């Protein structure tokens, strides 16, 4: 009977708390459209890059990661990307920072045009069907989002749109995490 109570208690805890990804999937978007929040463990996913390679987010555990959600039709993204390239990627890529642009729901050709237009050298992952995007933000929300993930896989900063003040805060958070 005692073992049954322990077993039942463990099952109850598992059902009530679930895994972090299922809790994220059941959330409603916050006022900026995020399904995740600072302090959450980042959901894991597999991504295919424009160069044909692939990786999982968890492959970068032990490094600070910046996910930059973008699209070729997004004017704010196009404005922000050169800043990310110059002030973040070029500044810290040799210090172990990983920057990954995640092109929301566009074919390879569109992503390649975006890279050419913005002249960025950080890797761009394809996100067909916006499956990766929807692990972080709601269905009817817009891009121009950055998610900063620490070496332990925990979200430490979230941005929305391109606000120079928020961008500077993000840079400080990245520097502190390296």
Could you identify the residue written with the tokens 């400080």?
A: 172
The tens digit of pLDDT for each residue in 113-122 reads 999 999 999 9
CATH number at residue 77: 3.40.30.10
Determine the 3-state secondary structure of 62 from DSSP. coil
104-139 residue pLDDT tens: 999 999 999 999 999 999 999 999 999 999 999 998
Averaged confidence pLDDT in the chain: 88
Which class for 3: exposed (0-12), middle (13-18), buried (19 or more C-beta within 10 A)?
Answer: exposed
Q: pLDDT band at 176, cuts 50/70/90? A: very high
Task: Quickly state the pLDDT bin for 26 (edges 50, 70, 90).
Answer: low
Q: Minimal CA–CA distance to 80: which of 144, 170, 5, 152?
A: 144
Full domain range(s) for residue 25 = 2-177
In angstroms, the Cα distances linking 81 to 2, 70, 88, 152 are 59, 9, 10, 26
Domain count, the chain: 1
**What is the pTM assigned to this prediction?**
0.84
């Amino acid at each position: 009977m005692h073992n049954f109570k322990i077993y039942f208690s463990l099952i109850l805890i598992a059902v009530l708390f679930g895994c972090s990804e299922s809790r994220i999937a059941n959330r409603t978007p916050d006022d900026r459209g995020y399904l995740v929040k600072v302090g959450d463990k980042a959901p894991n996913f597999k991504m295919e890059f424009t160069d044909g390679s692939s990786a999982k987010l968890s492959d970068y555990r032990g490094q600070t990661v910046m996910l930059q959600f973008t699209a070729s039709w997004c004017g704010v993204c196009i404005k922000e990307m050169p800043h990310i390239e110059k002030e973040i990627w070029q500044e810290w890529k040799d210090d172990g920072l990983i920057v990954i642009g995640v092109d929301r729901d566009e074919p390879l050709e569109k992503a390649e045009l975006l890279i050419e237009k913005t002249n960025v050298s950080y890797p761009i992952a394809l996100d067909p069907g916006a499956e990766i995007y929807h692990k972080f933000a709601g269905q009817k929300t817009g891009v121009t989002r950055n998610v900063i993930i620490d070496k332990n896989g925990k979200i430490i900063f979230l941005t929305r749109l391109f606000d120079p003040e928020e961008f500077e805060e993000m840079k400080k958070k990245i520097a502190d995490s390296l």
